[in-house]
A and B are shown apart, each in its own frame.
Chain A
Amino acid sequence: MASLKALKIRINSVKSTQKITKAMKMVAAAKLRRATEAAEASRPYAERLEAVVSSIASKVTVGPQSPKLLAGTGKDDVHLFVVATSDKGLAGAFNTNIVRLARKKAEELKAEGKTVKFYTIGKKGRDGLVRSFRGDIVHSIEPGDLGKLSFADVQGWAEDLTARFEAGEFDVAHLFFSKFVTVLTQEPTQIQLMPVAVSASEGAGVSASVEYEPDEEEILADLLPRNVAVQLLRANRENAASEQGSKMTAMDNATRNAGDMINKLTIQYNRTRQAAITTELIEIIAGAEAL
C-alpha cells in the first residue's frame, strides 16, 4: 500500500489539476458567450446575401459567359475539402468530429474514383488529416484565436480559394465545420462552397418586377466572391462558438472526474492513516502486556 506521504502528494496534485480545469471551464464559458453573440451577429448578413444570390442566380440562365463560381467548371473530378478546425486542442471531440466527417466523405469520393484535395484551416485539422492524406493537403492556414477573426482575414482566404478555383485547381469545393446547436451539441456539417448551390424553390418567391442596376450578371459577378468570404466567416464563427462549447463541456467533465478522484484518494488516505494508528496501538498494548 502506498505510503501516507505519497498519497498526500497525489491528492494535492489532483487538486491543482482540478483548479486548472475549473478555471479553463470558466474562461470557456465567458468566451462562449462572446462567440455565440458574434455568430448570431454575422447571421443576418449571411442570410440576406444568400437569399439575394439565390434569387438572382435562379433568374440568370447559365451559359458559357456565366461566372465560373455559378456555373462550375462542368466537371466534378477534383474535389477540394476546406476543413475548418481550431489551432488548439483540449476541446473534447470538437476537432476530431470535423476531421472524421471529412475523412469519411473523402473516402467515399475516392471510392468513386474522384480526386480529393484538402485545404485546412486550423492546426488540429491538418494534424488529423496528415496521416492518411499527406500528399493531398494543398494549403494550411493557422488562424490563431478563432474568436478574434475579422472579416478582412477571411477575405484573404476567400480570394486565395477563388483564385485557385479560377485557375482550375479543383471543380467542386466543400466546406467542413462544426455547427453550433447548443452548448452540449455541436454538429459537424458539410456545405458546398463552390460553385454556388442554388436552391430552385427560393428564387420563385421573389417578384419579377425588380430593377437591377447594373444588370443581373454584373451584380452576380460582384456578389459571388463576396458570398464565398461570408460563408467562410460564418463557418469560422460557428466553429468558434462550437469550440468553446465543447471545451466547456470537456473541462466540466474533467473537473468532475478530478473531484471523484480526490474523494477516492482521501478515503484511501484516511484508511491508511487509521491502519497505521491501529498498528501502533497494538504494538503499545502488546508491549504493556509483556511486562
Chain B
Amino acid sequence: MALKFELVTPEKLYRSDDVYMVVVPGSEGDFGVLEGHSPMMSTLRSDASLEIYASQGATPEKLSIAGGFAEVNENGLTVLAERVIEAA
C-alpha cells in the first residue's frame, strides 16, 4: 500500500521515498496520486506546493516547487522540478 515517490531536481535526486499519497499541483488542477494510479503525464503550475502524505490521515508535508513536470507510471510517481523550497 505504498506509492513510490521520487522528487528529482537538476542538481540532485531530492527525495526517494515510499509514501501513502502525494497531491500534485498540475497545470490543469491538483490531483492526488495513490498507489496504482493510471499512467499519466502532466506539467505543474509554477510556485505551487506539493503535499506529501507519509501515511493515511497524517498531516501533509508541504514542499514548494517551481517549474516542473510529473510522470506517473507503473513504477510510481516521479516529479521533475527545477527548484524545491522547503516550507518553513
16 A-B pairs with C-beta separation under 8 A: A41-B12, A44-B8, A45-B13, A45-B80, A48-B8, A48-B78, A52-B41, A151-B82, A211-B40, A211-B41, A213-B28, A213-B40, A214-B27, A214-B43, A226-B69, A233-B10
**Contact A56 B38, beta carbon cutoff 8 Å:** no
Given contacts A52-B71, A213-B27, contact A44 B13 (CB under 8 A): yes
8 other A-B residue contacts (CB within 8 Å) besides A44-B13, A213-B41: A41-B13, A150-B11, A210-B73, A212-B40, A212-B42, A213-B26, A226-B82, A230-B10
**Contact A210 B40, beta carbon cutoff 8 Å:** yes
Closest chain-A Cβ to B72's Cβ sits at a distance in Å of: 9
Interface string of A55-66 (1 = CB under 8 A from B): 010000000000
Q: How many Å lie between the Cα of A212 and that of B13 in the bound state? A: 24
Q: Which residues of A contact B (CB under 8 A)?
A: 38, 41-42, 44-46, 48-49, 52, 56, 150-151, 155, 207, 209-214, 218-219, 222-223, 226, 229-230, 233
Interface string of B1-42 (1 = CB under 8 A from A): 000000011111100000000000011100000000011111
State the majority secondary structure of interface residues on A. helix
Q: How many Å lie between the Cα of A41 and that of B43 in the bound state? A: 23
Closest chain-B Cβ to A206's Cβ sits at a distance in Å of: 8
Closest chain-B Cβ to A158's Cβ sits at a distance in Å of: 11
**Contact B80 A49, beta carbon cutoff 8 Å:** yes
Q: How many Å lie between the Cα of A132 and that of B9 in the bound state? A: 39
Closest chain-A Cβ to B51's Cβ sits at a distance in Å of: 18
Interface size on B, residues (CB 8 A): 23
Which residues on B sit within 8 Å (CB–CB) of A233? 10
Given contacts A212-B40, A212-B41, A212-B42, contact A45 B10 (CB under 8 A): yes
Q: How many Å lie between the Cα of A222 and that of B70 in the bound state? A: 12
Which residues on B sit within 8 Å (CB–CB) of A44? 8, 13
Which residues on B sit within 8 Å (CB–CB) of A222? 43, 69
Given contacts A41-B12, A42-B12, A213-B28, contact A218 B69 (CB under 8 A): no
Q: Which residue of B lies closest to A51 (CB)?
A: B71
Closest chain-B Cβ to A20's Cβ sits at a distance in Å of: 33
Residue of A45, A214, A222 ringed by the most chain B CB atoms within 10 A: A45
Q: Mark out the residues of chain B between 40 and 76 whose CB falls within 8 Å of any chain A CB in the assembled complex.
A: 40-43, 67, 69, 71, 73
Closest chain-B Cβ to A257's Cβ sits at a distance in Å of: 38
Q: Which residue of B lies closest to A47 (CB)?
A: B8
Closest chain-A Cβ to B46's Cβ sits at a distance in Å of: 10
Q: How many Å lie between the Cα of A233 and that of B41 in the bound state? A: 24
Closest chain-A Cβ to B73's Cβ sits at a distance in Å of: 8
Q: How many Å lie between the Cα of A163 and that of B13 in the bound state? A: 29
Closest chain-B Cβ to A44's Cβ sits at a distance in Å of: 5
Which residues on B sit within 8 Å (CB–CB) of A210? 39-41, 73
8 smallest beta-carbon distances between A and B, as pairs: A41-B12, A211-B40, A213-B42, A210-B39, A151-B10, A45-B8, A45-B10, A44-B13
**Contact B71 A41, beta carbon cutoff 8 Å:** no
Closest chain-B Cβ to A256's Cβ sits at a distance in Å of: 36
Closest chain-A Cβ to B88's Cβ sits at a distance in Å of: 22
Given contacts A45-B9, A226-B82, A230-B10, contact A211 B67 (CB under 8 A): no
Q: How many Å lie between the Cα of A210 and that of B78 in the bound state? A: 14
Which residues on A sit within 8 Å (CB–CB) of B12? 41-42
Closest chain-B Cβ to A183's Cβ sits at a distance in Å of: 22
